[in-house]
């Protein structure tokens, strides 16, 4: 079959226009190819870089692509804050295409039956990991025999099979990155390896997380617990990337790279023995309580330059309220240890905890200043379906409201549980956080980038802004 996979248009302030390589659709694409199918990906996210923010231009480009490619099956990756874009894309494609359409991803996984009922053009969707299920559906398998599928059996009868996780991740072929606009995804950027102007490719060496923080939807598709690619698989994947693309860095998208410290250490030693530490730099995400001196020494020697940590808050009652499973003291110790071992940290923090006040934000800002942090993202709390926080405080938004662009964007812009309003939060950020952090951000760029690299970044930025 000819299978078209569609990624959503990411214009939403909680989803920045990043250069992180999207891997979910490319893993599915490579599994489809292994079964003998022809695959194409229309990436509405990357098209923003090529065509700008005009959704009409991107829509026309998508329709032209469908006409040229003539797919036999179309699949959509769904994300809750962008489900309206998927709905619009499905409606547009249906005007010129009469074949089967299916969906997967976070939104379809957390609200499978409701998604089928709200989007009648879909004949089925995949709950959980999609590689095996999509390959089986494209090969003509009866949905009743494919794990993790919800499908229509007549007008109102929806049936399902239980999802099944991939138990051997090494059985998956490397993702089909050639189906993406890799000139865009490998373009040097300071927003991928935070603060360093580098070209990079993202990889995923494990799936899932041992914890389930109340606000987090990251492991919804992968389920509880963590599974790992072998170190051999990871090394061969990196070598394949370096063969295909001229990049300077690799970004590990694992929810917690240090969940298995022994395995992380083995990856470091293999990078050293293969000489990869001389060819690339790399960055990871990890939990603060995993940060220990021994593994930091190995990571530094092997070429790691950045560790990202979701500390969320430095107020213990807020950490406890979302079952973060760490402490403010552990967070601070992690930052100091990373700095002591010659690497950089990037911290993710949250505003909008239940009952939070502007005085609480001032305490957090004082902590950021005291630690002289140069790389922080401070995002508003979001209530995603499938999370414990959505179940408690989401007011059944998706179950009881239309999935229109206006309603969904209003929901995600006003889900704060704090004592202050979204407007008051934004005013505080503009008046208090941004003036301080703006100069810290520029200092970070000066400290972390050689002069020629920095000059290239400045030139690129000014060109994009229309100054050159």
- What is the pLDDT confidence band of residue 17, given thresholds at 50, 70 and 90? low
Q: Check residues 459 and 34 and name the one with the higher pLDDT.
A: 34
Sign of CA dihedral 444, 197, 17, 290: negative
- What is the pLDDT confidence band of residue 463, given thresholds at 50, 70 and 90? low
Query: 221 by DSSP, 3-state: which?
Result: coil
CA distance 215 to 333: 24
- pTM of the full structure: 0.93
CA distance 117 to 99: 18
Q: Check residues 29 and 446 and name the one with the higher pLDDT.
A: 29
Mean pLDDT of 409-417: 87
Kindly report which listed range (166-180, 244-258, 274-288, 447-461) carries the lowest average pLDDT score: 447-461
Query: 62 by DSSP, 3-state: which?
Result: helix
The continuous run of DSSP H or E covering 269 comes out as helix 261-273
Q: Check residues 357 and 457 and name the one with the higher pLDDT.
A: 357
| pLDDT above 90 for 133 | yes
Contact assessment for residue 338 and residue 315, using Cβ atoms and an 8 Å cutoff: no
Strands of 124-126's sheet in order across: 38-43, 2-7, 73-78, 101-105, 124-126, 149-152, 158-160
CA distance 205 to 307: 15
pLDDT tens for 313-349 read 999 999 999 999 999 999 999 999 999 999 999 999 9
CA distance 211 to 455: 42
Query: 64 by DSSP, 3-state: which?
Result: helix
Kindly report which listed range (94-103, 119-128, 365-374) carries the lowest average pLDDT score: 365-374
| pLDDT above 60 for 196 | yes
- What is the pLDDT confidence band of residue 467, given thresholds at 50, 70 and 90? very low
| pLDDT above 50 for 212 | yes
Mean pLDDT of 185-210: 93
Q: So what's the pLDDT on residue 462?
A: 67
DSSP string, 151-165: EESSSS-EEE-----
Pick from 109-118, 218-227, 365-374, 441-450 the range whose average pLDDT is largest: 109-118
| pLDDT above 90 for 439 | no
CA distance 366 to 385: 33
| pLDDT above 80 for 460 | no
At residue 6, φ and ψ (nearest 5 deg) are -120, 125
Joined together, the tokens standing for residue 260 give 């298995």
- What is the pLDDT confidence band of residue 353, given thresholds at 50, 70 and 90? very high
- Could you identify the residue written with the tokens 């059985």? 171
Among 345, 417, 410, residue whose Cα is nearest residue 381: 417
Mean pLDDT of 413-438: 91
Q: So what's the pLDDT on residue 13?
A: 46
Kindly report which listed range (300-309, 314-323, 446-455) carries the lowest average pLDDT score: 446-455
Q: So what's the pLDDT on residue 16?
A: 46
Query: 364 by DSSP, 3-state: which?
Result: helix
Mean pLDDT of the chain: 93
DSSP string, 351-400: E--TT--HHHHHHHHHHHHHTT---EEEEEP---TTSHHHHHHSTTHHHH
**CB-based contacts of 103, cutoff 8 Å, min separation 6:** 75, 76, 77, 78, 86, 115, 119, 122, 125, 126
Alpha helices in 3-54 (DSSP H): 24-34, 44-51
Q: So what's the pLDDT on residue 221?
A: 86
**CB-based contacts of 306, cutoff 8 Å, min separation 6:** 193, 194, 195, 196, 283, 284, 343, 344, 345, 346
| pLDDT above 70 for 50 | yes
- Report the percentage of the chain scoring pLDDT > 90: 80
Torsion angle of C-alpha atoms 333, 336, 337, 343, degrees rounded to 10: 140
Contact assessment for residue 121 and residue 91, using Cβ atoms and an 8 Å cutoff: yes
Kindly report which listed range (93-107, 141-155, 433-447, 453-467) carries the lowest average pLDDT score: 453-467
CA distance 278 to 196: 17
Residue 140 burial class via C-beta count within 10 angstroms: exposed 0-12, middle 13-18, buried 19 and up: exposed
Mean pLDDT of 156-162: 93
At residue 177, φ and ψ (nearest 5 deg) are -65, -25
- What is the pLDDT confidence band of residue 241, given thresholds at 50, 70 and 90? very high
- What is the pLDDT confidence band of residue 14, given thresholds at 50, 70 and 90? very low
| pLDDT above 90 for 81 | yes
In the chain, what is the straight-line distance between the N-terminal and C-terminal CA atoms, in Å? 47
Mean pLDDT of 204-228: 89
């Amino acid at each position: 079959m000819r299978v078209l996979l569609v990624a959503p248009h990411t214009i939403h302030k909680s989803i920045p226009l990043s250069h992180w390589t999207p891997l979910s659709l490319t893993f599915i694409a490579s599994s489809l190819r292994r079964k003998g199918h022809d695959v194409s990906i229309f990436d509405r996210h990357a098209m923003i870089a090529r065509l700008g923010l005009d959704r009409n231009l991107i829509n026309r480009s998508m329709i032209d692509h469908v006409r040229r490619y003539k797919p036999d099956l179309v699949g959509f990756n769904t994300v809750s804050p962008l489900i309206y874009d998927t709905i619009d894309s499905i409606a547009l494609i249906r005007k010129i295409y009469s074949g089967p359409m299916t969906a997967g991803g976070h939104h379809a996984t957390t609200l499978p039956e409701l998604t089928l009922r709200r989007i009648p053009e879909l004949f089925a969707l995949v709950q959980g990991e999609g590689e095996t299920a999509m390959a089986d559906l494209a090969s003509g398998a009866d949905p009743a025999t494919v794990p993790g599928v919800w499908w229509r059996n007549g007008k109102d009868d929806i049936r399902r099979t239980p999802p099944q996780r991939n138990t051997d991740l090494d059985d998956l072929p490397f993702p089909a990155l050639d189906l993406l606009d890799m000139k865009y995804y490998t373009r040097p950027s300071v927003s991928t390896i935070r603060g360093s102007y580098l070209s990079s490719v993202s990889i995923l060496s494990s799936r899932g997380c041992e914890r389930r923080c109340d606000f987090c939807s990251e492991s919804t598709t992968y389920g509880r617990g963590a599974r790992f690619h072998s170190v051999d698989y990871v090394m061969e994947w990196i070598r394949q990337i370096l063969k295909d693309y001229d990049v300077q860095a690799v970004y590990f998208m694992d929810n917690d790279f240090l969940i298995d410290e022994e395995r992380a250490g083995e990856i470091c030693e293999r990078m050293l023995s293969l000489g990869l530490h001389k060819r690339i730099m790399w960055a990871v995400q990890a939990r603060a309580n995993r940060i220990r001196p021994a593994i930091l020494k190995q990571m530094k020697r092997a070429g790691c330059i950045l560790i990202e940590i979701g500390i969320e808050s430095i107020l213990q009652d807020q950490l406890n309220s979302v079952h973060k499973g760490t402490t403010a003291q552990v967070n601070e110790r992690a930052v100091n240890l990373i700095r002591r071992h010659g690497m950089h940290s990037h911290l993710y923090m949250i505003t909008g905890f239940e009952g939070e006040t502007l005085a609480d934000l001032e305490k957090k800002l004082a902590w950021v200043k005291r630690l002289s942090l140069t790389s922080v993202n401070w995002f508003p709390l979001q209530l995603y379906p499938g999370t414990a926080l959505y179940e408690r405080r989401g007011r059944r938004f998706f179950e009881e409201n239309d999935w229109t662009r206006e309603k969904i964007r209003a929901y995600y812009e006003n889900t704060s549980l704090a004592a202050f309003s979204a407007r008051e939060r934004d005013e505080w950020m503009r008046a208090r956080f941004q003036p301080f952090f703006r100069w810290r951000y520029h200092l970070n760029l000066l400290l972390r980038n050689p002069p020629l690299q920095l000059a290239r970044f400045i030139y690129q930025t000014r060109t994009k802004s229309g100054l050159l």
